[in-house]
Structure 1
Amino acid sequence: MEKMLKEILSELREVKAKVTKLEGGQEEIKGDVKDLKQMTKAIFNQTADLTEFRTETNEKLDTVISDIKTMHEDIVAVEYISSKNMNDIAKLKLIK
């Protein structure tokens, strides 16, 4: 009987050691989950910042494109007027 009690006690000690080890592992996992939550939050914030930056950049790029188109139209108009003026100057020179 005493031998059996010693075996049971030994088994209980092994189970207790395993439970203690499992509890330690569980605490480690909790710490990892906490770290992952913080990293996820940081990634979320960075993504939001990048999305905002992209939107602002696209708006500015649209403005630049619009300005370039306007300048192109102005250059075409200046070229047309210059051409017309050159023709008028040539006519005036012929009249002299």
Structure 2
Amino acid sequence: MTNEEFQKIILEEIRALRGEVVELKQGQTRLEQRQTKLEEGQKHLEIGQEEIKKDLKAVIEQTVGLTEFRQEANEKLDILIEENDIIKEINGRHEVDIRRLKRRII
């Protein structure tokens, strides 16, 4: 192999290596762009997650309020049912008294 042939082979290899370096740089640029997009997407997800946490906290607070309201309503309903039973008993006694009085009149 002559010196010129050797230099030609070396030059071809250097050109090939330069092409590969350019491809690597382009790949690195694309990779960085994709990484930037991923980081931006992650920021959006984190913001969304914080909003979900706030909404969930509000739902929990509302649920607590509704649970307390339900408990109060049930307690009042129980009182009304008990008082209704008492009124029925009183009404029943009055009915008996009225009938007894009617019998005495007749």
Provide TM-score, normalisation by structure 2: 0.81
**In the comparison of the two structures, how many residue pairs are matched?**
90
- 1:3 positional shift: 2.1
Please state how far the C-alpha of 1:6 moved relative to its aligned partner.
1.4
- Map 1:1-96; keep pairs closer than 5 Å: 1-90=17-106
Runs of 4+ in 1 over 6 A off after TM superposition: none
Deviation at 1:55, TM superposition (A): 0.2
Q: Which moved more, 1:3-12 or 1:19-28?
A: 3-12
**Alpha-carbon shift at residue 2 of structure 1 (Å):** 2.4
**Paired amino acid for 1:68:** N
Q: Shift of residue 82 of structure 1?
A: 0.6
Cα deviation 1:13-57 (Å, max 9, x = unaligned):
000000000001100110111111011111111111111010000
Identity %: 30
CA RMSD of aligned residues (A): 0.9
TM-superposed CA distance for 1:64, in Å, is 0.5
Matched letter for residue 35 of structure 2:
V
Q: Which amino acid aligns with 1:56?
A: E
The two structures have a TM-score, normalised by structure 1, of: 0.89
Q: Which runs of 5+ in 1 are unaligned?
A: 91-96
Unaligned runs of 5+ residues in structure 2 are 1-16
